[in-house]
């Protein structure tokens, strides 16, 4: 799960435009085959379902759910489900496209998908969320499947959400088939077929890319100051591993507000506090509350946006003092803002590389379910680090060779892999 963000009305518009501009930029540089470009510019399937759910008070409410399947040239569709008011068809299309580039870049046998339900989960009880999730799963029907489209957690969804989806999906199959469908979702609780290490995979991946970047630039992470936007699963684990490396967490922003302490914030103490404070970091005694609009302008070395998309815009890009931005969220940096940041000499580890630890961890879970294996935590973490290192090194080398920024390099690698698949396989009929 990626955390919610401070702005309650986070902009959703522009994400599709952003991903298309990023795609067009890389496609132009590599002179992408015109016909393949036409295929990659559009989504394969866009599924919208409206379904009724009975609320705790006996009333029926109608919900709208989405699942967009962008491309499956490299393997089954893969991508998260989010529960958020900003979920709509354009947001799902943009996120599904990013997933296609992300899985291709990571060298996984997956395509890209994304989806979710347009709702604010804070307004519903746990039992209501369970019924909503199960009914959504039933409405999607055979549009998802362990060899077709494999959902995972995203904003405001978690292992429990995945367990409900798994149970509902399996219950629609004959008893003889049920155990063969365990890998219909990833990010499950360990007791329900999940993988050890999947909980920290995305945040650990964010940390690893920062560590690899630091090593390639001869930077020592000890005593480096960093700020994190979003204190959900990704923000917490990224901060946890950075602090273990000697870096100092100086500010955090979540859906409720922002706090700062230049001397450092204890990651685990803050997590414990937020859990006992209805998920909010506000009021934490060992940090002061600051105005959320000043968050990105804080003095720091590393900035980790790990919340929603379009958070770094031309309005705040000029104020950023960090020399490295590590994108824990999907699409947190607006294309125009990125131009400003690059001109300022700020390095950006792009989302499709930076937060790909999550989908790599999901791949490991899928493999274990498929093969009837159970890996240890150490095995998962070692394999994850090896895969992330391969991706990072390839992006860095391509960036230097092509004389482009890291995002453009990452897109070039991802798109070229898809182009190769289409060239070799041809197009039916």
Q: List, as residue ranges, the binding site for substrate.
A: 78, 102, 362
The binding site for NAD(+) comprises 202, 233
How far is 279 from 332, CA to CA, in rounded Å?
22
How far is 150 from 159, CA to CA, in rounded Å?
14
How far is 239 from 235, CA to CA, in rounded Å?
6
Paired tokens of 178: 């049920």
385: left (phi over 0), alpha (psi -120 to 50) or beta: alpha
Q: How many CB atoms lie within 10 A of CB 265?
A: 23
For residue 381, how many C-alpha atoms fall within 13 Å in the half-sphere facing its CB? 12
CA 401, 406, 408, 414 torsion: positive or negative?
A: positive
Q: Which residue has the tokens 């000029």?
A: 318
Q: Is 372 helix (H, G, I), strand (E, B) or coil?
A: coil
How far is 187 from 80, CA to CA, in rounded Å?
10
What is the CA angle 87-92-95, rounded to 5?
Answer: 120
How far is 356 from 387, CA to CA, in rounded Å?
10
Q: Where is 82: in which H helix or E strand?
A: strand 77-83
Radius of gyration for the alpha carbons in the chain, expressed in angstroms and rounded: 21
Active site residues: 114
Strand 112-117 and strand 77-83: the pairing is: parallel
Q: What is the DSSP string of 34-60?
A: HHHHHHHTS-SEEEEEEEEEE-TTS-E
Helix H, strand E, coil C: the string for 150-207 is: EEEECCCCCHHHHHHHHHHHHHCCCCCCHHHHHHHCCCCCHHHCCCCCHHHHHHHHHH
Contacts of 139 (CB under 8 A, 6+ apart): 49, 51, 65
């Amino acid at each position: 799960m990626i955390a919610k963000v401070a702005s309650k009305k986070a902009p959703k518009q522009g994400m599709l435009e952003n991903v298309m501009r990023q795609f067009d930029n890389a496609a132009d540089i590599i002179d992408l085959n015109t016909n393949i470009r036409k295929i990659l510019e559009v989504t394969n399937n866009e599924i919208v379902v409206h379904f009724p759910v009975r609320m705790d008070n006996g009333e029926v409410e109608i919900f709208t759910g989405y699942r967009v399947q962008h491309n499956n040239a490299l393997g089954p569709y893969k991508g998260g489900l989010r529960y958020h008011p900003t979920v709509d068809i354009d947001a799902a299309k943009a996120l599904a496209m990013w997933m296609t580039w992300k899985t291709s870049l990571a060298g996984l046998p997956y395509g890209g998908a994304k989806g979710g339900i347009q709702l604010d989960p804070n307004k519903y009880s746990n039992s209501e969320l369970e019924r909503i999730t199960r009914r959504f799963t039933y409405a999607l029907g055979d549009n998802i499947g362990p060899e077709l489209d494999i959902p995972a957690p995203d904003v405001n969804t978690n292992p429990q959400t995945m367990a409900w989806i798994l149970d509902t999906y399996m219950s629609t199959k004959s008893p003889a088939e049920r155990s063969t469908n365990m890998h219909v979702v990833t990010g499950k609780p360990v007791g329900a077929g999940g993988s050890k290490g999947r909980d920290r995979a995305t945040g650990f991946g964010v940390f690893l890319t920062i560590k690899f970047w630091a090593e390639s630039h001869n930077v020592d992470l000890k005593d480096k100051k960093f700020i994190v936007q979003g204190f959900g699963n990704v923000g917490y684990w990224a901060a946890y591993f950075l602090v273990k490396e000697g870096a100092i967490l100086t500010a955090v922003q979540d859906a409720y507000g922002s706090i700062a302490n230049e001397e450092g914030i204890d990651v685990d103490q803050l997590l414990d506090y937020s859990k006992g404070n209805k998920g909010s970091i506000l009021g934490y005694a060992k940090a002061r509350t600051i105005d959320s609009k000043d968050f990105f302008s804080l003095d720091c070395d590393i900035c980790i946006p790990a919340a929603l998309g379009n958070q770094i815009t031309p309005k705040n890009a000029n104020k950023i003092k960090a020399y490295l931005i590590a994108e824990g969220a999907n699409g947190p940096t607006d294309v125009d803002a990125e131009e400003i940041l690059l001109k300022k000499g700020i390095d950006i580890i792009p989302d499709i590389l930076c937060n790909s630890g999550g989908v790599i961890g999901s791949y490991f879970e899928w493999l274990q379910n498929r093969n009837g294996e159970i890996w240890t935590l150490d095995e998962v973490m070692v394999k994850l680090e090896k895969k992330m290192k391969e991706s990072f090194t390839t992006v860095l080398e391509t960036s230097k060779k092509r004389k482009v920024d890291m995002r453009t390099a990452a897109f070039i690698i991802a798109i070229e892999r898809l182009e190769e698949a289409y060239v070799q396989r041809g197009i039916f009929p």
